[in-house]
Amino acid sequence: MATDEASPLLRRGESPGIAGIKLPAAREFGEESRRLWKLAGPAIFTAICQYSLGALTQTFAGHVGELELAAVSVENSVIAGLAFGVMLGMGSALETLCGQAFGAGQLRMLGVYMQRSWVILFVTACCLLPIYIWAPPILSFFGEAHHISRAAGKFALWMIPQLFAYAMNFPIQKFLQAQRKVLVMTWISTGVLVIHAVASWLLILKFKWGLVGAAITLNTSWWLIVIGQLLYIFITTSDGAWSGFSWLAFRDLYGFVKLSLASAIMLCLEFWYLMVLVVITGLLPNPLVPVDAISICMNIQGWTTMISIGFNAAISVRVSNELGAGNARLAKFSVVVVSITSIAIGFVCMFVVLATRFYFPRLFTSSEAVAEETTRLAVLLAFTVLLNSLQPVLSGVAVGAGWQSLVAYINIGCYYILGLPLGIVLGFPLGLGVEGIWSGMVAGICLQTLILIVIICMTNWNKEAEEAETRVRRWGGTAVE
């Protein structure tokens, strides 16, 4: 089936034109950019809204006290961050399978894939429960200060409902994204964010419920998103992609788990990488101020990363849809357009961070010491924001093409064999502190990004389209003729 408005000439690898006259490259770039923004715009806004749930909770907690800010920051960055990475990674197998099945016209399989993912992610959530239950000793084992570990662990127990909301939410999102139904997620997430902001102010500050109020609002908000999306799918049947619950969800689980694990390993290695900064910073002398400062920086970095994650979702859908439909040239051209666009936005975000470095820290804390430390880290934050404008997009290409296993190995080498040890050496033996830790880890991101650029440039996209056809057939559909 056709997956976008591109002309048949473009799908065959030719530039569109009138009476045999080819259009300029700028026109073709503009058309592809429009298709990408149609997906990326709502996806970015949805990602920002959902990320802002935790960020707003952290902001309100910061105005209660330094310990409360540290507790919410560590739980969000380490405990929930770990769970988020695992669940998103396991659910990201659907980006490959649903996207390529949709491109091949096999709508009936999308609902089955989503149900298989629910089964796998529910079991995964149960396996992650011990991390929430025994969070204090786990955090202490990795060197976090005892009083921060105890407060974060208490908050983690209250956040267990969020873990199971993740298990439902990520398969739903990939199911809807593959069909380009991103606006419905945007409207639901926007409405929930407004409710969350008001409820957080009431429970955390007005009623002075502190961390209890933070847990109630954050859990409720995530489940409202899940319920809203489910109601949309059940009521509309998603144009035939949802035909009800099926026992087929329990078939071929082994192969599905293998692809899910490859996706999880790839994305977890990326999500955890910068989150480790918070834990390592906790090993520094007098860690409360550095932990709060680095948490604020990661909060800002997370917000800007949501833009890249929106493009990650868009390019994953574009690549998987086009490969599933056999349109190798369009898949390749989409990668070029989204990379240029993301880098341009990255430069804008970097400039904004540098221009506001004396002001944005005070939005998150009333502590002058924390604000000054955050300002001092702003230059590193700005460079990280620029680098992360492209890196998630390249990962989206990998997911759309089904390269999860390859990228997982690249991530291990660049992040955990090079970047993390280098950061530890710079931060501790060389005495550069949090700046050294962060600088070493940025080196790992640079290397990973360069390797992915080389791989994408050397890719035979016609061969990738053939492999997508084989994948669709193997997972229960019939590829397009």
> Could you tell me the CA-to-CA distances from 200 to 46, 135, 161 in Å, in that order?
19, 24, 17
Q: Is 17 helix (H, G, I), strand (E, B) or coil?
A: strand
How far does Cα 306 stand from its chain's mean position?
Answer: 7
Its pTM stands at 0.73
Q: In DSSP terms, which residues pair with 18 in a beta bridge?
A: 21
What does DSSP assign to residue 207?
A: S
- Residue 240 in tokens: 């035939």
Q: Is 22 helix (H, G, I), strand (E, B) or coil?
A: strand
What does DSSP assign to residue 361?
A: G
**Which residues, 6 or more positions from 421, have their beta carbon under 8 angstroms from its beta carbon?**
440
**Which residues, 6 or more positions from 198, have their beta carbon under 8 angstroms from its beta carbon?**
none
Label the pairing between strands 17-18 and 21-22: antiparallel
Instruction: State how far the Cα of 386 lies from the Cα of 244, in Å rounded to an integer.
Output: 44
**Taking the CA of residue 180 as centre, how many other CA atoms within 13 Å lie in the half-sphere pointing to its CB?**
20
For residue range 125-175, list pLDDT tens digits in order.
999 999 999 999 988 887 777 888 999 999 999 999 999 999 999 999 989
CB atoms within 10 A of CB 455: 16
User: Is there a contact between 145 and 282 (Cβ–Cβ < 8 Å)?
Assistant: yes
Number of residues in the chain: 481
- Residue 159 in tokens: 């956040």
pLDDT digit string (tens) for the chain, length 481 residues? 444 444 444 444 444 433 333 445 778 888 888 888 888 889 888 888 888 898 889 888 888 887 888 888 888 878 888 888 888 878 877 777 787 777 777 777 788 889 988 998 999 999 999 999 999 998 888 777 788 899 999 999 999 999 999 999 999 998 998 888 889 999 999 999 999 999 999 999 888 898 899 999 999 999 999 999 999 999 888 777 887 787 777 777 777 777 777 777 777 777 777 777 777 877 777 777 887 788 788 878 877 877 887 888 788 788 877 877 778 788 888 888 888 898 999 999 999 999 988 888 888 777 888 888 888 888 889 988 888 888 888 877 877 777 777 888 888 899 889 988 998 898 888 878 788 888 888 899 899 889 988 888 888 878 877 776 676 666 554 433 3
Task: Report which residue type is found at 11.
Answer: R
